[in-house]
Amino acid sequence: MNSIDIDVGGTFTDLVLNYQGRAAVRKVPTTPYDLSVCFSRVIEEGAKALGVGMEELLPGIDMIRYSTTVAMNRLIERKGPRLALLTTEGHEDVVLIGRGAQWIDGTRVAERRNLAIQRKPEPLIPRELIAGVKERVDSRGKIIRPLDEEDVRAKVRTLAGRGARGFVVSLLWGFLNPAHERRVKEIIRDEYKEFHIGYLPVVLAGQVVGKLGEYERTLAAILDAYLQRSMQIDLSAMWDKLRERGYKRPLHMIQSSGGIAEVFRTTASRTFNSGPVSGLMGAHHVAKALGYQNVVMTDMGGTSFDVGLVVKDSVRSYDFRPIIDRWMVGITMIKTLSIGAGGGSIASVNPLLENRVQVGPRSAGSMPGPACFSLGGREATVTDADVVLGYLNPEYYFGGRMRLDKSRAAQAIREKIAQPLGVSVEEAAMLIRQIVNGNMASAIMKEVHLRGYSPEEFILFVGGGAGATHAEGFKGDIPKAFTFPFSPVFCAYGSSTMDILHVYERSRRLTLMEPGTQALTKDYAAFNETVEAMVAQAGRDLTADGFEPGEATLALELDMLYGGQFHVKRALSPRLAIHSGEDVRAICEAFHKEFSEAFSPFVVNPEGGVFVESFVLKAMVRTKKAALPEMKLESADASGARKGERQVWWAGEGAGRTTPIYASELLRAGNVVKGPAVVESEYTTVVVPGRMQYRIDAHGLGILEE
Average of per-residue pLDDT across 104-125 = 79
Cα–Cα distances (Å) from 34 to 76, 207, 370, in that order, read 17, 29, 21
Q: Is 400 exposed, middle or buried (0-12, 13-18, 19+ CB in 10 A)?
A: exposed
114/118 Cα distance (integer angstroms): 7
627/9 Cα distance (integer angstroms): 26
For residues 64 and 242, is the Cβ–Cβ distance under 8 A?
Answer: yes
At 502 the pLDDT is: 87
At 131 the pLDDT is: 97
Q: What is the pLDDT of residues 17-46, one digit of tens each?
A: 999 989 899 999 888 888 889 999 999 999
What fold does the segment set 3-74+232-271 form as a domain? Nucleotidyltransferase; domain 5 (3.30.420)
| Nearest C-alpha neighbor of 448 from the set 671, 631, 294 | 294
At 452 the pLDDT is: 79
For residues 212 and 173, is the Cβ–Cβ distance under 8 A?
Answer: no
CATH 3.30.1490: which residues of the chain? 500-621
Phi, psi for 478 (deg, rounded to 5): -70, 125
41-50, 310-319, 535-544, 606-615: least confidently modelled range: 310-319
DSSP 3-state percent helix, strand, coil across the chain (nearest 5): 40, 25, 35
At 73 the pLDDT is: 63
626/24 Cα distance (integer angstroms): 13
What is the rounded end-to-end Cα distance, in angstroms, of the chain? 39
At 537 the pLDDT is: 92
Is it the case that residue 117 has pLDDT exceeding 90?
Answer: no
- ω into residue 250 within 30 of 0, thus cis? no
| Nearest C-alpha neighbor of 340 from the set 495, 66, 15, 109 | 109
The contacts of residue 514 (CB under 8 Å, 6+ apart) are: 520, 521, 609
Q: pLDDT: is 481 or 547 the higher one? A: 481
Cα–Cα distances (Å) from 278 to 66, 93, 428, 488, in that order, read 10, 37, 35, 14
5/18 Cα distance (integer angstroms): 9
Question: Residues of the chain with pLDDT > 90: what percent?
Answer: 60
For residues 372 and 423, is the Cβ–Cβ distance under 8 A?
Answer: no
For residues 646 and 659, is the Cβ–Cβ distance under 8 A?
Answer: yes
At 335 the pLDDT is: 86
At 159 the pLDDT is: 96
527-536, 564-573, 602-611, 689-698: least confidently modelled range: 564-573
Is it the case that residue 657 has pLDDT exceeding 80?
Answer: yes
Average of per-residue pLDDT across 554-561 = 94
Which pLDDT band, with edges at 50, 70 and 90, does 149 fall under? very high
251/265 Cα distance (integer angstroms): 10
21-25, 73-77, 502-506, 576-580: least confidently modelled range: 73-77
276/315 Cα distance (integer angstroms): 12
Which pLDDT band, with edges at 50, 70 and 90, does 368 fall under? confident
At 71 the pLDDT is: 62
Q: What is the pLDDT of residues 242-276, one digit of tens each?
A: 999 999 888 888 988 887 878 877 888 888 888 88
Which pLDDT band, with edges at 50, 70 and 90, does 656 fall under? confident
CATH 3.30.420.40: which residues of the chain? 3-74+232-271
Average of per-residue pLDDT across 416-433 = 95
26-30, 135-139, 416-420, 480-484: least confidently modelled range: 26-30
Q: Which value, in Å, is the radius of gyration of the alpha carbons in the chain?
A: 27
Q: What is the pLDDT of residues 454-489, one digit of tens each?
A: 899 999 999 999 999 999 999 999 999 999 999 999
CATH, range 500-621 = 3.30.1490
The contacts of residue 269 (CB under 8 Å, 6+ apart) are: 208, 220, 223, 224, 227, 324, 329, 331
Bridge partners, residue 5, by sequence: 16, 65
Is it the case that residue 349 has pLDDT exceeding 80?
Answer: yes
640/662 Cα distance (integer angstroms): 9
- ω into residue 549 within 30 of 0, thus cis? no
Q: pLDDT: is 452 or 687 the higher one? A: 687
120/103 Cα distance (integer angstroms): 5
Q: pLDDT: is 202 or 627 the higher one? A: 202
Task: Please state the three-class secondary structure of 498-553 as a single string.
Answer: CCEEEEEEEEEEEEEECCCCCCECCCCHHHHHHHHHHHHHHHHHHHHCCCCHHHCE
Is it the case that residue 72 has pLDDT exceeding 70?
Answer: no
Q: pLDDT: is 408 or 313 the higher one? A: 408
Query: What global pTM score does this model have?
Result: 0.86
Is it the case that residue 106 has pLDDT exceeding 90?
Answer: no
The contacts of residue 502 (CB under 8 Å, 6+ apart) are: 259, 260, 261, 538, 541, 542, 618, 619
Which pLDDT band, with edges at 50, 70 and 90, does 649 fall under? very high
586/527 Cα distance (integer angstroms): 14
Bridge partners, residue 554, by sequence: 619
